[in-house]
Structure 1
Amino acid sequence: MSSHVHKIFVQCIQREEPGATITAGTGSSPIQSSSGKLYMGKIGSPGEKEQYIGEAESLKAMNQAAPSLVPRLIACGVIDDEAAESDHDVGKPYFLSEYRDMGSLTDAAADVLGKRLATEMHAYKSTNGFGFHVPTYCGRTRLENGWYETWEECYDALIGGLLSSLRKSGGYDALCREGEDVRRRVMPALLRPLVIQPVLLHGDLWSGNTGTDRKTGEPVIFDPASLFGHNEADLAIARIFGGIPKSFFTTYHQHVPKSEPADQYELRCDLYELFHYLNHTVLFGGSYASSARQKMQRLLRAFPEE
C-alpha cells in the first residue's frame, strides 16, 4: 500500500470516528486511524461493482448471523464526483472493512469455527426461500442467485449456470452431457427428499478463506459467496482442498447432525463438491474437468437410468 489514503476512505472512517486523522502503513500494513483502529480498503474497476456489492451484502448477513466471525463491513459503494481524486475514479466501486490480523486456522480455532458455523451461521434462516437477494461471486464466477421455493430448484440453477458457461467456452461436450444427466437423475433423487431450512452459507469455505485472529485466537472467515441453502453444501470445498483440521467437521456435526436420509450423506457431499469442481473447470480448466467427471460418474452409478 502506498503512503496515501484515498479520500473516500478518509471520509468513511471519519464518519465512524469523527475528528480522527487517517494514515497509511507501509508495505502490506492497513489503513490506521489516530485511535489505533485498523481498516482494510480496496477500490475496483467499474466492471467490478457487482462483485463488491455481493461481498458486502454477504458480510453484512454473516455479521448479523455470527457477530465478529467475519470482518465488519464499514462501507461499500461507488465513487462519485465529490469523493473522486481524479476523473478516472468516478464510477469505481470501493469497499472498506475492519482489518483483522490473521494467521492460518489453528486446531483450536477450527473447533470454535465448527461450533459457530453450526449454531450461529447455519441457524440463521431466510424468510424468502433459497437463494440470495443479489448476485455473488465464487472466484470470478457470477452466481445469478434470486429466490427459489426449494433447494432442489436453487441448486439446479447453480449447476445449470456452470454447465452453460462450459458449453459457451467449448470443448466440454461430454462433461456437459453427463452434467445434464446428473441434473435429471441425481438431483431429484438426492435433494427432493430433504426436509431442510434455507440457512446462511459462506459459499466458498476453503482453508484460504479462513484464519485465526492473532489478537484473540478466534476464527475468522472472509471472501464469501453467500446464499441461503442446505447447510451441508457449505462443507464441500473444505474437503476438496484440505487445510481445515478434521476437528472442524467432527465438532460441526456434534451440533448439527447429518440431514436425513443420513445414509445418502456421502453422495450429497459428492454432489456439493461437484459444484466446486465444475466452477474450477470454468475458472482454470485442466485436471479439474476430469475430477468433475469422476464425481458425476460416481453419482450416476448410484442412480442408474430406469
Structure 2
Amino acid sequence: MGDKSVCDKEIAVPAAVIQYIDEGVKEKLPEGTQFHGITPSGASYWARTSKIDATNEAGEDTPFFIKVQQAEIGKKMVSSEYEAMKALYSVMPEIVAEPIAWGAYREESDIWFYVCRYCELSDDIPDLSDFPALLAEMHRRGASEKGEFGLDLLTYGGRNPHYFPPTNSWEETFSKCLQRTFDMEEETQGPDEEMHRLRDGLMTKVIPRLLRPLETEGRKLIPTLVHGNIWDGNASVDVNTGLPIIFDATPLYAHNEYEMAPWWAPRHKMTGAYIAEYIKHYPVSEPAEDFKDRGALYGLRFDLHASSLYTGNLRHRYIVMDTIRDLLNKYPLGYEGYLKEKVSTAGNDAHPHI
C-alpha cells in the first residue's frame, strides 16, 4: 500500500467490496464479457482497487481495473476520475488506459466504482528516453479549443477537491486555485500567523512577478491539457507494450510547465533529468530566466494540497513555508520591481541563462 509515514490510517472502504464482482459493475462492462475472478491490484490511500479477470465474446483475455469508493464523496471521486481520464484518453490514448464506466454497486448501498482497461504495470517509472517526449506531444495536441485556462470539472487529489476555475488568464486561474488550497490546508492544520503573512506575500508579490510576464509584453500562453499530478506514483510502464501509462489524473488546461511541478521535488524519482529532456521537445516559456522559480511556485501548490490531506502531519506545510520565504526573499518588490528593472536594463543585450 502507500507510505505509512505519510498516512497510517486504514482505508475507509471495506475490503469485502473487492472480493466479488457486483452486478452493477457487470452491467457497465461490454456485452458478452465472461467473468473469471477478481483479485486485489494496485495501491491507494483512499480506495480499494482490484483486477477483474475476464474474456470477450471471442474468448480473448480482456481484464479490467476497478477502483471502489463509498459515500457521496466516493461518488464524486469516481465520476470525476472517469471524466478526467476520458479527457486525457481522447487526446493521448497511447499512454492512457481506456476508461470504461463508473457507477453504483447493486448489492451494496452507497458503494461506487470506476472501471478502465487493465494494464499490467512494471515496478519502474516511465523511461527518460520516451516519456518526456510523449508528454510534450500530449501538451501540443491538447490545446484548449476555448482558449481558457482551468477546467469546469471538480477533480480530487485524495479526498480534497482541486479548484481551477476557467478564466482567460493563467495568473487568475492559478491564483484562485491557490487561495482555495490555502483555505483547505488551514481547515486541516489550523491557522498559523506566519503562514498568513507568507500567503499574503505570495499572492501579492510572487505570483504577479512570476506569472504576469508570461502574458504581457506581447507574450501569450496557450492553455493546454495537462495530467495535473505527474509523479512516480501516477505513472508506470505497460509491460506488454513497453509504453508509459499515466493514471489518477487531475487534469486542467494550464501553462504546460505546470505539469513538471512534481519533478522539481528531490523526493520524487522523476526529477531534473526529466525536466531537461522535456524542454528539448517543448521549449521553456519566456521569460526563460524565471523558469526554475516558476517550477518552485507550481511545486508548492502540490505540497500545500498534500498538507490539506493529512491532519497533524506538518511536513508539507514546512516545505511550503520554506519555499515561499525563498521566493519572497528573491522577489520582495513583486511585479512592480520587475517593471522597474526592465526600464533600468533597457538596451542590455545579455541573454539570460536558465
Q: TM-score, normalised by structure 2?
A: 0.78
2:315 to 283, 287, 291: 287
Cα displacement string for residues 11-60 of structure 1 (whole angstroms, at most 9, x for unaligned residues): 122xx2x3231121445461122231110123321222221122111111
Q: Does 1:31 align with 2:44?
A: no
Is the CA contact 2:162–2:177 (under 8 Å) kept in the aligned structure 1? yes
Partner of 1:52: 78
CA RMSD of aligned residues (A): 2.0
Following TM superposition, by how much is the alpha carbon of 1:155 offset from its aligned partner in structure 2, in angstroms? Answer: 0.4
AA partner of residue 84 (structure 1): R
Following TM superposition, by how much is the alpha carbon of 1:102 offset from its aligned partner in structure 2, in angstroms? Answer: 0.4
Following TM superposition, by how much is the alpha carbon of 1:84 offset from its aligned partner in structure 2, in angstroms? Answer: 1.4
Following TM superposition, by how much is the alpha carbon of 1:116 offset from its aligned partner in structure 2, in angstroms? Answer: 0.9
Q: Does 1:137 align with 2:156?
A: yes
* Pair 121,8 (structure 1): closer, same or farther in 2 beyond 3 Å: farther
Following TM superposition, by how much is the alpha carbon of 1:122 offset from its aligned partner in structure 2, in angstroms? Answer: 4.5
Give 1:35-114 correspondences, 5 Å limit. 35-47=60-72, 48-77=74-103, 79=104, 84-85=106-107, 88-89=108-109, 91-106=110-125, 109-114=127-132
SS in 2 for 1:216: coil
Following TM superposition, by how much is the alpha carbon of 1:246 offset from its aligned partner in structure 2, in angstroms? Answer: 4.7
* Pair 191,43 (structure 1): closer, same or farther in 2 beyond 3 Å: same
1:261 to 271, 287, 299: 287
Following TM superposition, by how much is the alpha carbon of 1:145 offset from its aligned partner in structure 2, in angstroms? Answer: 2.8
Partner of 2:187: 168
* Pair 122,286 (structure 1): closer, same or farther in 2 beyond 3 Å: farther
Following TM superposition, by how much is the alpha carbon of 1:104 offset from its aligned partner in structure 2, in angstroms? Answer: 3.0
SS in 2 for 1:93: strand
Is the CA contact 1:66–1:121 (under 8 Å) kept in the aligned structure 2? no
Cα separation, 2, equivalents of 1:26 and 1:136:
27
Partner of 1:153: 172
Following TM superposition, by how much is the alpha carbon of 1:172 offset from its aligned partner in structure 2, in angstroms? Answer: 2.5
AA partner of residue 115 (structure 1): A
Following TM superposition, by how much is the alpha carbon of 1:138 offset from its aligned partner in structure 2, in angstroms? Answer: 1.9
AA partner of residue 141 (structure 1): N
* Pair 212,163 (structure 1): closer, same or farther in 2 beyond 3 Å: same
Partner of 2:340: none
AA partner of residue 141 (structure 2): A
Gaps of 5+ in 1: none
* Pair 73,295 (structure 1): closer, same or farther in 2 beyond 3 Å: same
Higher helix share: 1
Gaps of 5+ in 2: 1-15, 42-49, 215-219, 338-354
Partner of 2:21: 5
2:32 to 12, 19, 26: 19
Partner of 1:119: 137
Cα separation, 1, equivalents of 2:89 and 2:28:
19
SS in 1 for 2:284: coil
AA partner of residue 138 (structure 2): E
Is the CA contact 2:84–2:250 (under 8 Å) kept in the aligned structure 1? yes
Partner of 2:229: 204
Identity %: 25
SS in 1 for 2:90: helix
Following TM superposition, by how much is the alpha carbon of 1:156 offset from its aligned partner in structure 2, in angstroms? Answer: 0.2
Cα separation, 2, equivalents of 1:287 and 1:44:
27
AA partner of residue 218 (structure 1): L
AA partner of residue 23 (structure 1): H
AA partner of residue 209 (structure 1): N
Is the CA contact 2:264–2:272 (under 8 Å) kept in the aligned structure 1? no
Cα separation, 2, equivalents of 1:51 and 1:19:
28
Following TM superposition, by how much is the alpha carbon of 1:302 offset from its aligned partner in structure 2, in angstroms? Answer: 1.7
Which structure is richer in relative contact order (CA contacts within 8 A, separation 6 or more)? 1
Cα separation, 2, equivalents of 1:191 and 1:211:
31
* Pair 27,125 (structure 1): closer, same or farther in 2 beyond 3 Å: closer
Following TM superposition, by how much is the alpha carbon of 1:143 offset from its aligned partner in structure 2, in angstroms? Answer: 1.1
Greater CA drift, 223-232 or 97-106:
97-106
Following TM superposition, by how much is the alpha carbon of 1:282 offset from its aligned partner in structure 2, in angstroms? Answer: 1.5
Cα separation, 2, equivalents of 1:3 and 1:276:
34
AA partner of residue 236 (structure 1): A
Cα separation, 2, equivalents of 1:122 and 1:275:
24
Partner of 2:327: 299
